[in-house]
Structure 1
Amino acid sequence: MSNKLIEELELGDNVTLVGGAGFSKTLLSESLILADDLVAADGGANFLPTQSVPKYIIGDLDSVVSSEKWVGKGSKLVRIDDQDSTDFDKCISAIKSKKIIALGFMDQRLDHFLAACNSLVRSKRQIFLIGKRDIIFHLPNEFSIKLPINSRVSLFPFKDIKNVKAFGLKYPVEDLCFSPIGKIGTSNVSTAENIKISYKGSGMLGIFSSRYLDIFYNSM
């Protein structure tokens, strides 16, 4: 499939995207319950069990092993040769779905993980990076969630951010000037079931426990 056809991908509103950093079968199963259209970013297909067939395998296709096996099972290959973007970028550009759960992008190479975080900040859609311990996503300007008290709440700015307000956090964040080279907000703790966070602009990543994937996915 050529680059000109990427806008014609037949996918629903909810997609599970798998990458080459690996993921557990349990996490894959949990993700597919929420987002049942499966897509692989190039070598992410190598970690899929044989019964989990992706609709598409997207990227420069230099890492996927036995691509003909997947084609024989019904997968379609989408080759995008742009060397100025990561396979994760290629995928989220090609996928037009409203929500994406992304597995296998954060538990191995740190440079690949940081590149994925950069993509989260630049994207305008709801994309959830999921790893063994964490769920990471770009916080909307007005964010609220119901979690158990004493849940971990971490805020990491990818740009200078002011006017942050929050309710239900142990450590106050008001009147702070967040910056990736200055004040950050990791390892905060919830003191109420209902948490509210707001800020102006963009660029704030929220980092929480991945055990609450279903809560975040269904609440946003």
Structure 2
Amino acid sequence: MTSAIVQSETPVTLIGGGALGPSDLETALALAPVLVAADGGADAALAAGRMPQAVIGDFDSLSARARAGIPADRLFPIREQESTDFDKALRSVAAPLVLAVGFLGDRVDHQLAAFNVLTRHAHRACILIGVHEVIFHAPRRLVLDMAAGQVVSLFPMGRVTGRSEGLEWPIDGLVLTPDGQIGTSNRALGPVTLETDGPGLLAILPRDRLEALIVALRPGS
């Protein structure tokens, strides 16, 4: 396992080189003030007038201009090609929470790879921020502050069972699998409690639930 390159007691914003909404970075930094870039995400950070504290990746998409503009002691190349830059960066950051921007949007293959990383690092509290939604790996138990009628989509990345309270269509008794029963387009009746019997379940919520989700993911919540 790669040792931590960045260690922070406060939440970290991780920026990638994918599609970035106009307010994504500032929204994340207001909640997670430490900025780390995954490879070409450093270009997006500099374009927004932000200097990352660290740049982590294989550097195949980091521009020469960005490389020249970032102090050498903030550049951390990881040359192996067996994992994505999101994976390299996430596993190299030790923080209570990571808010990831620039990993959703233009390319479906990049999004699928990001979901794969969330699943393989299920123990990490990491939230992908999209234009309209936030996506995260559900912990074993989660209590969400939701309003009636809000969408709660659940997508299994493996075989998952569990229980729920506060969903219009409970998951109790279901076996969720990527090639079988899934749980997208469910709706909250109010506050929602999710419990899973193991890893592998991704949850997708409206973006306006981001701050409530951060509270829910805090240890002891």
Tell me, yes or no, whether TM beats 0.5: yes
Q: 3-state DSSP class of the match of 2:19?
A: coil
Q: Does residue 148 of structure 2 align to residue 149 of structure 1? A: yes
8 Å contact kept, 1:57–1:75:
no
Tell me how many residue pairs correspond in the alignment: 213
**1:26 positional shift:** 1.3
Aligned partner of 1:102 in structure 2 is 100
Q: 1:8 to 1:202 in 2, by over 3 A?
A: closer
Partner of residue 180 from structure 1, selected from 159, 164, 178: 178
8 Å contact kept, 2:5–2:93:
no
8 Å contact kept, 1:59–1:81:
yes
Report the aligned-residue RMSD. 1.7
Q: 1:26 to 1:216 in 2, by over 3 A?
A: same
Partner of residue 21 from structure 2, selected from 19, 24, 32: 24
After TM superposition, the score normalised by the length of structure 2 is: 0.90
1:107-154 residue CA offsets vs partner (Å, 9 max, x unmatched): 121111111111111111100011111111110111111122111101
**1:10 positional shift:** 4.8
Aligned partner of 1:195 in structure 2 is 192
Q: Does residue 2 of structure 2 align to residue 9 of structure 1? A: no
Matches within 5 A, 1:19-98: 19-48=16-45, 49-65=47-63, 66-72=65-71, 76-98=74-96
After TM superposition, the score normalised by the length of structure 1 is: 0.91
1:57-85 residue CA offsets vs partner (Å, 9 max, x unmatched): 1101111121344325x871110001001
Equivalent pairs: percent with the same residue? 34
Amino acid at match of 1:177: V
User: Any gaps of 5 or more consecutive residues in structure 2?
Assistant: none
For 2:206 and 2:73, the matched residues in 1 are separated by 32
* Of 11-20 and 118-127, the range deviating more from structure 2: 11-20
8 Å contact kept, 2:37–2:55:
yes
For 2:203 and 2:129, the matched residues in 1 are separated by 12
User: Any gaps of 5 or more consecutive residues in structure 1?
Assistant: none
Runs of 4+ in structure 1 deviating by more than 2 angstroms, as ranges, are 6-13, 48-51, 67-70
For 1:89 and 1:103, the matched residues in 2 are separated by 14
Aligned partner of 2:202 in structure 1 is 205
**1:8 positional shift:** 4.5
